[in-house]
Structure 1
Amino acid sequence: MRTIARVVAFGVGVLCLTAAGASASEESLAGRVEPLLVRAEPQAIEPGAPLSARALVTHPPSIRGLLSWTVESRRHRGGLYSLSLSPNGKLVATGGLDGMIRVWHLADGQLLRLLVGHDSYSGSVAWSPCGTVIASTGTWDGTVRLWDPKAGRQLRVFKGLKGPTGHAAWSPDGRRLVASSGFSGELWMWDGSADTTETVMELGHPITGLHWSPNGLTLAVQSQQSPVTLLDMETMESRKENVRSVGDASTTSFAWSPDGGQIAAGSSAQCTIFDFASGDSVKKLDGACVSAAWSPDATQLAIANSRYAVQIWDLETGKVAAPVPALASHLTWDRVSQRLFCLYSTQFNVFDPAEKKIVLTSPAALITPASWSVGRPILTGLMTDKLSLWDATTAKHLRDLSGHTGAVSAVSWSRDGKTLASAGYDSSVRLWNADKGETVHTLKGHTAAVTDVAWSPNGKFLASGGSDKTVRLWDPDDETCQVLEGHTAAVRALAWSPASNQLLSGSSDQTFIVWDAKSAKAQRTVQVSRPVLALACATIGNTMTLACGTTEDQIQVFNANTGEQMTILRSGGSPPSVTALAWLPTGPHLLAGRGCHKAQLWDAGAGKIVRSLEAMAPVSYLTVAGNGNTLVAGNSDGTVRFWDSESGELRGVLLNCGDHLVQLSYDGQYRVDPDKQPDLVFVALTPDGQVMLTPDEFATKFRARNNPTRVKLVPGR
């Protein structure tokens, strides 16, 4: 196997409204934001139901005093999508792929609160101006939620929006909350003073950003296919000003100056500063801009470019004043601390412009799953230059494999389990003695990153494919290889025939090639519809059958001997891609991993889905265990999920926590290396709200004893 990289709870909540006396027509906010106590909506939880569809504990046992509970990693599972600072600058809220909202203490980077409720990933978090409420959107669950972060209480769940919810933003006075939803570009608004909701407008295409002016009079609405819409929030009338800086290119970023007098609008070519009143261009800063943030004194502008590199520009000179040693897809410049917050993928960094250095790095997310194979040690370290091996039964660390000088992109075990092959961005393939942790051979020849590696079923050959457009067929004993040329773009996937006599390679050039392993000659080249991401080969009946997954929402099944297309298996989803494939040993059943966070079990003969499994993240790899009774998916939220193929029930999850592994069962039992302190927290829902506890605190308070022997991810193991 190889891996490529109904009880009802009531409570009192807190909402924020502006104190009386402030006029909405004033140039700046004169009203003082005060908290207003309101009764929270009842939260309905069925007995035995999980806290959310994304909770790791899917069948929480009943515990006296609790409505439900789950176990979570301290860090986010999967990428970070949003960040919001508390008004006092002491706390930061983050949301991401796992759907959980986490609240961090900025002084030491410690996790203070974990809020569970969304059934899909969280696209946006927004702290209210008074600092007592967090708003979040749940994308595909179609909701906007309000949270009391201090009590851990879910206050409101707004439903009925017109599709996936995206961005959320509070008015500066805290009286109104706007959010985007759906592919038609719905602008939804909740008026907190009247406690009413309405659809303000529909743009006709998805909204990509919402930005209140500092005085709260204007809302800027970004979209994918039109100029930025400037909406007068008193009259609800819009005037479309083309603030895009080049031709018809979409605006990629938008930021108001602190006084609202100017706008920074980024594009793929430059960032343009506009005067808000006149609409005139004031200054142009060369270079792509995906995010921008003004300094509190408006003399500087931080810009993240298309490669997510960050620079601070002096707006008087129009030149770069200082580079920022951090990557960012989202920038926030805090007016309290005067510091710049850089959010990117798995972490956020805090840059102090005065000291010209990063003062806090918070590794807030995990994205790479462990590599799990039947009867082999568990492996971690993909997308880094060091691999680690772990005992599959005890989760205890065995040894490290160091030697690559670039990130490891793929691994493959030999048939006897004695040798591990690893492919790297350093253009090499390494063969390891897994028992000793030593390099046996370093195979060199590729001239660019190696993207995949695969042992032949008989163990005699090793194939590798790379960004140099070649496939190489290695004799693992003497390091010699044959170079297989024919692709015109990077090789993305490899698969062997069961008899080891044929090798198949798929490429970004929208072809797969069938190679004769003995002669190293191409037997046929087959054109497919999109760039190839995954291949899987099996003998079904007397036919060597190849399944091919691409960047679109279909699986093409071929007779590999003739190149004839036998069938197309199509299923929608967003993203549509088919990212991994694996045949079951029991007939024409095919397991497909999707970019749309699903693993689908197909009856390829009948052309229908037998079972659809929630992977909760894009699938990175698949494998099948126990003669087909266990389906396994490694996902880009740092988890490996194990399902019973008959029932479709989740047996449990293998969680990669970086320096240790956690094996977690569906009912909350867990196994971890006894020498490691598990990087876990328990989230318990009481009638008063959600409580976050350490494993020891949870066990003591609720007399809930952990029993590692009950963790059975695969029957009999």
Structure 2
Amino acid sequence: MPPKPSRAQPRKKRQRVKEEALEATVVVGTYDGGLLGFGLKDGAQTFGYAPHIGCIKAVHCNKEGKLASGATDNAVRLFDLAKRVELGELQEHQDSVSALQFWKGTLITASSDGQVCIWRGGDFELLLKFQGHKAAVTSLAVHPSGRMVASAGRDKRVQLWDLTRGTSAAHLTIKDVAEALEWSPCGESIAVLSARELMAVQVKTSATASLKDPSSEGFVRINFTSMVWLSSKMLALGDAKGEVRILSHSSDELTQACTLPKESAAQSTRVKALAACAGRLLVGLSSGEVEVWLMPEKFGPKALPVPTDFNKLRVVETKSRLTCLVVWAPEDQATSSGEGKIRRKE
């Protein structure tokens, strides 16, 4: 009588497929409405499709792997990165969806007509809709506590909102349009990025640290384009020349520590997006390339980082006109960047 086939191998195979699906994934949004995914570990493409008929303006995901993308077709499309399936579409905005962000079980979206929507993450029921700005919303940033959300608009205002009520808690009027907002990991400060200036504002004291490019005066100007917190005291700042600066932050000062090495023969491109996850710094360029850098194991409180502290692991060619990117990693992989020990095995 022939032996019964063992079920151990199929179980191992299923487990291996599950583990591979939960590898950290980088998602890139493009001008032609496409989303591309590739593995953070090896740069291999994992998926690619075009859910929008317009330019993708924003993309974000939560820890469970739910991905949302917003575009100039006025739609929000939903995708499950863990299961690799589409979840549907949200149609509420009457203009381009210009910003969005998850916070646990909540999704916040905003559009070019100044409207802000708050959705329940489980079934994506619309919970609240309100007029956030008199002009287009450019960025959203949910506080780490989840109690409030900051929004920036082309009306040159940064608003703080009560996330549960949709009521204004405070506001900041600035000289230029803020293109990006991001809270520090500890939630004490918010970074406000405009084309000419990066500000880090402490919420409790209103102490403001600011950085301007001294070479950008007059007719020759180098615009800032993107930024990301690497730790509670360090940021990365990208510009229109394709350079990435590493900055140190104190309560009243932003100091440039170093600039990431750039190949002299490299084509001049803009830094379109920056992201940090699991000890990696990702630099998305307008050429479609995504650089993956290994960051220092720790950012010391006294010694500022130097260029040799950062190691370029790879360059991923997406062959697309990149507009934005986000990184999703399972919770056990998404250790706080630069504030804990990082595995250096590649």
Give TM-score scaled by structure 2 length: 0.72
For residues 614 and 594 of structure 1, the distance between their equivalents in structure 2, rounded to whole angstroms, comes to 14
Deviations 1:344-373 (A, max 9, x none): xxxxxxxxxxxxxxxxxxxxxxxxxxxxxx
For residues 277 and 132 of structure 2, the distance between their equivalents in structure 1, rounded to whole angstroms, comes to 35
For residues 624 and 613 of structure 1, the distance between their equivalents in structure 2, rounded to whole angstroms, comes to 15
Deviations 1:471-497 (A, max 9, x none): 222112233142231312111111111
Contact 2:257 2:306 in 1 (8 A): no
- Please say if 1:716 is aligned against 2:345: yes
1:656 to 301, 313, 317: 317
2:287 to 601, 613, 637: 637
Deviations 1:284-339 (A, max 9, x none): xxxxxxxxxxxxxxxxxxxxxxxxxxxxxxxxxxxxxxxxxxxxxxxxxxxxxxxx
Tell me the CA shift for residue 428 of structure 1: 1.0
- Please say if 1:591 is aligned against 2:252: no
Cα distance change on mapping 1:416 and 1:519 into 2, 3 Å: same
Cα distance change on mapping 1:516 and 1:716 into 2, 3 Å: farther
- Please say if 1:511 is aligned against 2:140: no
Deviations 1:593-652 (A, max 9, x none): 22243211111115311112256532111122345xx43321212222234454424514
For residues 640 and 523 of structure 1, the distance between their equivalents in structure 2, rounded to whole angstroms, comes to 37
For residues 561 and 450 of structure 1, the distance between their equivalents in structure 2, rounded to whole angstroms, comes to 31
Paired amino acid for 1:461: T
Cα distance change on mapping 1:375 and 1:517 into 2, 3 Å: farther
Paired amino acid for 1:611: C
- Please say if 1:462 is aligned against 2:91: no
Which residue does the alignment assign to 1:406?
54
Contact 1:492 1:532 in 2 (8 A): yes
Cα distance change on mapping 1:452 and 1:603 into 2, 3 Å: same
Cα distance change on mapping 1:401 and 1:475 into 2, 3 Å: farther
Residue correspondences, number: 280
For residues 394 and 565 of structure 1, the distance between their equivalents in structure 2, rounded to whole angstroms, comes to 42
Tell me the CA shift for residue 513 of structure 1: 0.6
For residues 453 and 635 of structure 1, the distance between their equivalents in structure 2, rounded to whole angstroms, comes to 21
For residues 115 and 223 of structure 2, the distance between their equivalents in structure 1, rounded to whole angstroms, comes to 24
- Please say if 1:391 is aligned against 2:39: yes
Q: List gaps (5 residues or longer) in structure 2.
A: 1-21, 263-267, 297-304, 321-342
- Please say if 1:530 is aligned against 2:176: yes
Tell me the CA shift for residue 522 of structure 1: 1.2
1:421 to 63, 68, 77: 68
Contact 2:117 2:126 in 1 (8 A): no
Q: How does 1:145-224 map to 2 (within 5 A)?
A: none
Which residue does the alignment assign to 2:17?
none
Tell me the CA shift for residue 532 of structure 1: 0.8
Q: List gaps (5 residues or longer) in structure 1.
A: 1-373, 660-713
1:472 to 117, 123, 138: 117
For residues 521 and 617 of structure 1, the distance between their equivalents in structure 2, rounded to whole angstroms, comes to 40
For residues 565 and 518 of structure 1, the distance between their equivalents in structure 2, rounded to whole angstroms, comes to 27
Contact 2:32 2:53 in 1 (8 A): no
Contact 2:78 2:87 in 1 (8 A): yes
Deviations 1:394-417 (A, max 9, x none): 444433344323232221121122
Contact 2:43 2:316 in 1 (8 A): no
Contact 2:289 2:319 in 1 (8 A): no
Paired amino acid for 1:658: K
Paired amino acid for 1:567: A
Contact 2:74 2:97 in 1 (8 A): yes
Paired amino acid for 1:625: C
Computing the radius of gyration over CA atoms, which structure comes out larger, 1 or 2?
1
Q: How does 1:8-27 map to 2 (within 5 A)?
A: none
Give TM-score scaled by structure 1 length: 0.37
Which residue does the alignment assign to 1:545?
189
For residues 486 and 407 of structure 1, the distance between their equivalents in structure 2, rounded to whole angstroms, comes to 23
Deviations 1:647-690 (A, max 9, x none): 4245144232438xxxxxxxxxxxxxxxxxxxxxxxxxxxxxxx
Tell me the CA shift for residue 579 of structure 1: 1.9
Tell me the CA shift for residue 591 of structure 1: 1.6
Cα distance change on mapping 1:556 and 1:539 into 2, 3 Å: same
For residues 382 and 512 of structure 1, the distance between their equivalents in structure 2, rounded to whole angstroms, comes to 27
Cα distance change on mapping 1:391 and 1:598 into 2, 3 Å: closer
For residues 407 and 638 of structure 1, the distance between their equivalents in structure 2, rounded to whole angstroms, comes to 15
For residues 234 and 44 of structure 2, the distance between their equivalents in structure 1, rounded to whole angstroms, comes to 34
Tell me the CA shift for residue 375 of structure 1: 5.0
Cα distance change on mapping 1:488 and 1:625 into 2, 3 Å: same
Contact 2:288 2:319 in 1 (8 A): no
Which residue does the alignment assign to 2:208?
566
1:484 to 127, 130, 137: 130
Cα distance change on mapping 1:539 and 1:392 into 2, 3 Å: closer
Which residue does the alignment assign to 2:13?
none
Cα distance change on mapping 1:526 and 1:420 into 2, 3 Å: same
Deviations 1:79-129 (A, max 9, x none): xxxxxxxxxxxxxxxxxxxxxxxxxxxxxxxxxxxxxxxxxxxxxxxxxxx
2:272 to 603, 620, 623: 620
Cα distance change on mapping 1:436 and 1:482 into 2, 3 Å: same
Tell me the CA shift for residue 436 of structure 1: 4.2
For residues 261 and 286 of structure 2, the distance between their equivalents in structure 1, rounded to whole angstroms, comes to 13
Cα distance change on mapping 1:607 and 1:435 into 2, 3 Å: closer
Paired amino acid for 2:106: F
Which residue does the alignment assign to 2:27?
379
For residues 622 and 647 of structure 1, the distance between their equivalents in structure 2, rounded to whole angstroms, comes to 19
Contact 1:401 1:437 in 2 (8 A): no
Deviations 1:216-249 (A, max 9, x none): xxxxxxxxxxxxxxxxxxxxxxxxxxxxxxxxxx
Deviations 1:571-601 (A, max 9, x none): 234543322221122x421222222432111
Contact 1:382 1:410 in 2 (8 A): no
Contact 1:380 1:656 in 2 (8 A): no
Paired amino acid for 1:640: V
Which residue does the alignment assign to 1:493?
139
The sequence identity of aligned pairs, in percent, is 20
Tell me the CA shift for residue 567 of structure 1: 2.0
Cα distance change on mapping 1:378 and 1:468 into 2, 3 Å: same
- The alignment yields a C-alpha RMSD, in angstroms, of 2.6
Tell me the CA shift for residue 379 of structure 1: 2.7
- Please say if 1:556 is aligned against 2:199: yes
Off by >6 Å, runs of 4+ in structure 1: none
Tell me the CA shift for residue 520 of structure 1: 1.5
Paired amino acid for 2:233: P
Deviations 1:21-53 (A, max 9, x none): xxxxxxxxxxxxxxxxxxxxxxxxxxxxxxxxx
Paired amino acid for 1:651: K
Tell me the CA shift for residue 389 of structure 1: 2.6
